[in-house]
Amino acid sequence: MRPTILIADDHKILRDGLRSLLEQHCNLQVVAEAEDGRTAVQLAVKLRPDVAIMDVGMPGLNGIEATRRIVGEVPRVKVIALSMHSDSKYVGSMLKAGAAGYLLKDCAFEELESAIHAVLANRVYLGKGITGVVVDDYVRQLSAADASSPSALTPREREVLQLLAEGQTTKQIALQLHVSAKTVETHRMHIMDRLELHSVAELTKYAIREGFTSLDD
């Protein structure tokens, strides 16, 4: 039976290209595609693919949070991050969230194929350009999380933080998360208190710095 793959990326042309290459050259079966993190989580839980190829920067729910939820609910799914970002913030956050591999989007297709085989064999795969020493050091820093680190927030607070940073209003967030505007405001106040930030502008800068969202992905 062919290993099954879920592709999560907000760029359709990339999803189409990956599907074609994986199915034609690697004897793999792409069972689903997702254009955002929330859909990726839903499909992963429903279909339980062997591997999820995950973009890091996606709207609504980023790849880091999506990975954390997928690994938490379906531990057998191996997540490979495929990102334009080589910064240790993104790499470390993805690995801490449970990703089994991390590749840059400018890698050769053969490297992605190698990564898939590696994670299917229960090994961690880091692509070229990802410095292991930097990653290891950063993961250790994340493990010693302090009050101002993302791990101080609940999963829902991290979700609200990303949506705020992406410019959504309280009402828009409430509709998307199926909660009241008052609940969103409460989450926002808790986030600001825990991170010791005092404005939405500061929250936005923090979210970009910590890899929740970006201006260029």
- The full 3-state SS of 153-180, as one line of letters, equals CCHHHHHHHHHHHCCCCHHHHHHHHCCC
CA dihedral 190, 157, 136, 100 (to 10 degrees): 170
- 216 is a domain residue: no
pLDDT: which is higher, 49 or 129? 49
My answer on whether 126 and 72 are in the same domain is yes
- 217 is a domain residue: no
Amino acid identity for residue 137 in this structure = D
Reported as a single tens digit per residue, the pLDDT across 23-36 is: 888 889 999 999 99
Q: What is the pLDDT of residue 86?
A: 82
Which of 96, 111, 143 corresponds to the end of one domain?
143
Q: What is the pLDDT of residue 170?
A: 92
My answer on whether 87 and 184 are in the same domain is no
Q: What is the pLDDT of residue 63?
A: 94
My answer on whether 34 and 83 are in the same domain is yes
The secondary element (H helix, E strand) that includes residue 52 is strand 51-54
User: Confidence class of residue 85 from pLDDT cuts 50, 70 and 90?
Assistant: confident
My answer on whether 131 and 182 are in the same domain is no
Number of domains in the chain: 2
Decide: pTM greater than 0.75. Answer: no
Phi (first) and psi of residue 99, to 5 degrees: -65, 145
- 215 is a domain residue: no
User: Is residue 71 pLDDT above 70, yes or no?
Assistant: yes
For the chain, the average pLDDT equals 87
Which of 120, 143, 166 corresponds to the end of one domain?
143
CATH number at residue 194: 1.10.10.10
- 119 is a domain residue: yes
Distance CA 25, CA 204 (A): 42
My answer on whether 50 and 133 are in the same domain is yes
My answer on whether 22 and 83 are in the same domain is yes
My answer on whether 158 and 131 are in the same domain is no
Which of 94, 126, 143 corresponds to the end of one domain?
143
Phi/psi-derived region of residue 70, left when phi > 0, alpha when psi is between -120 and 50, beta in every other case: alpha
User: Is residue 92 pLDDT above 80, yes or no?
Assistant: yes
User: Confidence class of residue 108 from pLDDT cuts 50, 70 and 90?
Assistant: confident
Distance CA 48, CA 32 (A): 10
User: Confidence class of residue 151 from pLDDT cuts 50, 70 and 90?
Assistant: low
User: Confidence class of residue 217 from pLDDT cuts 50, 70 and 90?
Assistant: very low
My answer on whether 180 and 95 are in the same domain is no
User: Is residue 133 pLDDT above 50, yes or no?
Assistant: no
My answer on whether 173 and 127 are in the same domain is no
pLDDT: which is higher, 116 or 195? 116
| Domain of residue 21, residue span | 4-143
Reported as a single tens digit per residue, the pLDDT across 186-199 is: 999 999 888 888 88
pLDDT: which is higher, 205 or 150? 205
My answer on whether 15 and 87 are in the same domain is yes
Distance CA 41, CA 50 (A): 14
CATH number at residue 61: 3.40.50.2300
